[in-house]
Amino acid sequence: MALIVQKFGGTSVADPAKIKAVAERVLRTKKQGNQMVVVLSAMAGETNRFVDMAGQMQEQPDEREFDVLLASGEQVTIALFAMAVKGMGGDAVSLLGDQVKIVTDSVHTRARIKSIDTSLINKHLKENRIVVVAGFQGVTEADDLTTLGRGGSDTTAVALSAVLKADMCEIFTDVEGIYTTDPNVYAAARKIDRITYDEMLELASLGAKVLDIRSVGMAKRYKVPLHVRSTFTENDGTWVVEENKNMESMLVSGVTYSRNEARITISKIHDIPGIASKIFTPISDAGVVVDMIIQNTRAGEMTDMTFTVPRTDYKKAMDIVRNLDIAGPDQVSGSEEIIKVSIVGVGMRNHSGIATTMFHVLAREGINIHMISTSEIKVSCVIDEKYTELAVRALHDAFSLEKDNQPEEE
Ligand code: ADP
Ligand code: ASP
Ligand code: MG
């Protein structure tokens, strides 16, 4: 008997018929003799609808109340799902984050899980029930509801798998696994059979929302084997695993892009010690995460500072920069019409020339690169948003990712 955690995303539980289909599938796995913990997201579109309504109440919605609102979508799906199971003659119990005692810190809208109490879940499992847990939500030590950040149900599933020592964590979604690039952007994308935690961390941090980045970090840390697969087919998906030496021969595993980017430039400021700290301390104090930074020194002790922030924090960061006493309004400019396109692969560690190929391909397509950043296993370029699809496809072709060039397992 195995203990399996299965998470179903919003499109998988988008309406009552889909919820029933998922219940049937889970019951089948249960009848094969497994213990089942199911984590559900809200119905597709619901969380966005709540965000929109909150914006109609308050320009910057109160974060505590925002979490109370956003957490409600998952309450609906877990209850419907448990009813569906019971309607099919099975037994299930729905549990909210605070009932399971998924205790988080108090950073509303992107809380981190601190601990999970397994006793209630284990009690229901022992009584042979399917345990259905609301994804994306937790509770603080002071009993306030919290949410884990958009896409956070993946993290609930992995965290539960870790504390319950589950044999497997399966993430069911609307594509058949992790692809060489977003299959909804480029049809030539190829499903990857196995990918390392590190590559997936990079892909997720660079925009591939197929898995929430925190869930990947946690899976790596607690060695939770992850299987990402489709709700709508029986096919095998992608396994996210620890690196083995064969994987090194893959130069590039994927191309990804992130639209959640914005650029801010402060021009012609004095190039003196402390200037970076003066700019970035208040931005970081406001909880805004700065990504790339470029400083260009001009002749005459003046400098330009350009950096990127999440587009969702653009206005907040702009207001902070405009209020600094180091630059006048005409020295501050920015753009929300940029994206970051990246190539990722563990093989880059041992091969040179990958970045140059990327620059060459973008140049050939007439795409100007605004900023570049690299790590051991990735190269990212900031480009104009209008070139997103063109860049993704050209890079995917240039690195022959449509071909099945995965090495055989030993
Ligand atoms: P869920 O609601 O099930 O959590 P998400 O919408 O969060 O699903 O994630 C699945 C989506 O991720 C896919 O529909 C796809 O468009 C997108 N995606 C982006 N990059 C990739 C990739 N490299 N491989 C697979 N899917 C990707
Ligand atoms: N419902 C939440 C969201 O849309 C959490 C999730 O789906 O993972 O972000
Ligand atoms: Mg998701």
Distance of CA 290 to CAs 138, 267, 271, 314, 366, Å?
A: 27, 18, 20, 10, 28
Q: State how far the Cα of 265 lies from the Cα of 338, in Å rounded to an integer.
A: 13
Would you say the CB of residue 140 lies under 6 angstroms from ligand 2? no
Range of the domain at 72: 3-174
Residue whose CB lies within 8 A of the most ligand 2 atoms, among 67, 136, 154, 174, for a mutation test: 136
Assess contact for 266 and 305: CB atoms under 8 A.
yes
CATH of the domain at 336: 3.30.2130.10
CATH of the domain at 148: 3.40.1160.10
Would you say the CB of residue 174 lies under 6 angstroms from ligand 1? yes
Nearest alpha carbon, ligand 1 atom 21: 182
Q: Within this chain, do residues 276 and 142 fall inside the same structural domain, yes or no?
A: no
Question: Any idea which ligand is nearest the CA of 155?
Answer: 2
Nearest alpha carbon, ligand 1 atom 6: 210
Nearest alpha carbon, ligand 1 atom 1: 9
Q: State how far the Cα of 105 lies from the Cα of 44, in Å rounded to an integer.
A: 27
Q: Within this chain, do residues 258 and 162 fall inside the same structural domain, yes or no?
A: no
Would you say the CB of residue 208 lies under 6 angstroms from ligand 1? yes
Give the model confidence (pLDDT) of 285-332 as tens digits: 998 999 999 998 877 788 999 999 999 999 999 999 999 888 888 999
Q: How much is the pLDDT for 293?
A: 95
Q: How far is the CA of 325 from the centre of ligand 3 (A)?
A: 41
Q: Is residue 217 part of a domain?
A: no
Q: How far is the CA of 151 from the centre of ligand 2 (A)?
A: 4
Question: Which of ligand 1's atoms lies nearest the C-alpha of 154?
Answer: 4
Instruction: Provide CB contacts within 8 A for 353, sequence distance 6+.
Output: none
Q: Is residue 224 part of a domain?
A: no
Q: Within this chain, do residues 120 and 268 fall inside the same structural domain, yes or no?
A: no
Would you say the CB of residue 210 lies under 6 angstroms from ligand 1? yes
Would you say the CB of residue 153 lies under 6 angstroms from ligand 2? yes
Domain stops at, among 114, 148, 174:
174
Q: How much is the pLDDT for 194?
A: 92
Q: Within this chain, do residues 254 and 399 fall inside the same structural domain, yes or no?
A: yes
Identity of the amino acid at 264? I
Would you say the CB of residue 209 lies under 6 angstroms from ligand 1? yes
Nearest alpha carbon, ligand 2 atom 8: 151
User: Domain total for the chain?
Assistant: 2
Question: Any idea which ligand is nearest the CA of 257?
Answer: 1
Q: Within this chain, do residues 12 and 110 fall inside the same structural domain, yes or no?
A: yes
Residue whose CB lies within 8 A of the most ligand 2 atoms, among 41, 96, 214, 215, for a mutation test: 41
Question: Which of ligand 2's atoms lies nearest the C-alpha of 154?
Answer: 8
Tokens of 188: 């030539």
Residue whose CB lies within 8 A of the most ligand 2 atoms, among 51, 153, 228, for a mutation test: 153
Domain stops at, among 119, 144, 174:
174
Residues of the chain with pLDDT under 50: 406-410
Q: Is residue 399 part of a domain?
A: yes
Q: Is residue 394 part of a domain?
A: yes
Q: State how far the Cα of 340 lies from the Cα of 207, in Å rounded to an integer.
A: 8
Q: State how far the Cα of 23 lies from the Cα of 249, in Å rounded to an integer.
A: 41
Q: Within this chain, do residues 259 and 132 fall inside the same structural domain, yes or no?
A: no
Question: Which of ligand 2's atoms lies nearest the C-alpha of 156?
Answer: 8
Q: Is residue 82 part of a domain?
A: yes
**Strand locations in 41-122 (E):** 92-95, 102-104, 113-116
Question: Any idea which ligand is nearest the CA of 216?
Answer: 3
- Report residues near ion ligand 3: CB below 5 Å: 9, 151
Q: Is residue 233 part of a domain?
A: no
Question: Any idea which ligand is nearest the CA of 47?
Answer: 2
Q: Is residue 202 part of a domain?
A: no
Question: Which of ligand 2's atoms lies nearest the C-alpha of 136?
Answer: 5
Nearest-5° Cα angle at 396, 205 to 209? 25
Domain stops at, among 174, 192, 216:
174
Q: Is residue 149 part of a domain?
A: yes
Nearest to 171 by CA among 117, 209, 129, 137: 209
